[in-house]
Chain A
């Protein structure tokens, strides 16, 4: 009983982490049609900001709050300078954002060296439920993920900003004609996606520690999750991320980890092949 509960917690917590990482990726892919290869590096930057805060004696939670703002601001600038040129061609956008990611990743590598730097958990210890101990920080991540998901949903579905974003997605020409500044909306959406990545990086760095390839580790899983879930909506990628994250964490309990690792990808690609529209088809929220 205790083991299976621990396993379940492990699975849910990893699923939450993947959802958190994929949120930003999914929003950028769905709302702008860009598969952002630099997203992993935005995660890395969020982690790096948090590390910097802890290394300079600033409270870690302050670093975690700062991270999404710093990364979001950077995303806004990058969108205006670079990403904006790529909207017409999705493949060129992939290559361009890949180059961007390369620059960020190698800069961070230059700054931290080839080390694995640990960042302490702002909420340490464990929560005890009888004989079961679960990590308090991982539990916090699950809670924050749920909150962020709800907030994103409300933002896109219930606010006028969300309405403008969706209008720009559905029909840019009509949106412009209705007086919506589409370049600004694209900029804001990209910055928002980047900020979510920064937040994800900040929250997961105590679990995975900081190293230059932290972002890459999640990028491909993230892409696969977005495709499985279905591009074009907010819920699609989230559902895909939940599925992929849960599968990746659950399969190693029943088979050899190496096989499980590869099997998740094979299953996902096969699924997308036969259901290209993803788990949840259609546009909207």
Chain B
């Protein structure tokens, strides 16, 4: 977090802001500095327009693939919230994704529930519950948990769930649960294709906007502080552990939503969905695209899945190696991901909240 002057400058990017002490004079240079076109809305708009037009130009089997990417992008956003914004390394995000997938698959198999009005809330609820339990256990407590403990704890949770699903006959063992019926709304079946695509895209857009609001709110500011310097946030009087548990639960909810969509889209669930494979996959998406920007998570997912789909015919064996090399290069030389090629640091950090309650005069 910057000093007081920077905070004023950020706030005054908004024309409607009225600051108290001599605001016009103080913010005039800042405003001119902040003027000029913004990259982020342009990138977001371009991505949205492309996504909206995509099914019109794609063949059917590619639309099915694009739907999968959209759902995975939703999953990537859930991880980005937790890691990119709050600095909690959740190496087991797939636990929530897969648990919701398995949960709704069981609902469909054993109880015959396929209504979208029940399935999506159920998936989100499973994700939320799992995240509350695991996050509450790992993050809360008398002593703050170390970053290492949280990351290894989530990783272990995901791995253990994977092993459990593999060995449990009720969950289908190695094969998972096959042939899930399609999602329905009343008497209409929502099967894969353009309809499912727009459904997933609609959910993605809504979740994206909600998250965008969330990370730009005062809560988001506290999260950013948490990521940069947890101790200082604690000294400011925030309950750092509670903030972490809340964002972890929100991330779990979104991952659960994505998992239930994914299960019905693919028509089956299998143990990898819970385990280390998906958990690390989502880390790759977000790091590659750019953690700490929501659109970076989406772009990373699209690029990695897109290239992997494109290469899968000829270079299936080499692709994971290339992916590893690219990831290593990004971590070493572009820690903010691909999005940082077009997005400036200032815009990535952005501004928070509505009008300031009072001019920040806390010492830097």
Contact = CB atoms under 8 A, between A and B. Distances in A.
A158 interface: no
B334 interface: no
Contact of A220 (B141, B156, B168, B287): B156
B155 A223 contact: yes
Contact of A102 (B155, B327, B332): B327
A106 B317 CA distance: 8
Interface in B146-178: 146-149, 151-153, 155-157, 159-160, 163-164, 166-168
The 6 closest A-B pairs by CB, nearest first: A258-B167, A103-B324, A102-B324, A106-B320, A99-B328, A99-B327
Contacts of A272: 149, 153
Interface in B305-364: 317-318, 320-321, 323-325, 327-328, 331-332, 335
B315 to A, nearest CB: 11
Interface string A250-285: 000000011001100110110011001000000000
A276 B146 contact: yes
B145 A85 contact: no
A224 B287 CA distance: 25
Q: Which of B91, B167, B323, B324 has the most CB of A within 10 A?
A: B324
Interface string A81-111: 0100100001110111011101100110110
Nearest to A226: B152
A265 B162 CA distance: 12
Chain A contact residues (Cβ within 8 angstroms of B): what range? Answer: 20 to 34
Nearest to B83: A91
A91 B143 contact: no
B317 A110 contact: yes
A269 B145 CA distance: 12
B156 A268 contact: yes
Given A99-B331, A269-B157, A90 B148 contact: yes
8 contacts: A82-B328, A82-B332, A90-B147, A96-B332, A110-B318, A220-B156, A273-B141, A273-B149
Interface of B: 89, 91, 137-138, 141, 143, 145-149, 151-153, 155-157, 159-160, 163-164, 166-168, 276, 280, 283, 287, 317-318, 320-321, 323-325, 327-328, 331-332, 335
A52 B75 CA distance: 41
A276 B167 contact: no
A258 B324 CA distance: 32
A152 B116 CA distance: 59
Interface majority SS (helix, strand, loop, mixed), chain B: helix
A21 interface: no
A266 B331 contact: no
Contacts of B143: 276
Given A82-B328, A90-B148, A94-B151, A224 B156 contact: yes
A95 B321 contact: no
A109 B147 CA distance: 32
A95 B152 contact: no
A262 B160 contact: yes
Contacts of B148: 35, 90-91, 227
Contacts of A227: 148-149, 152
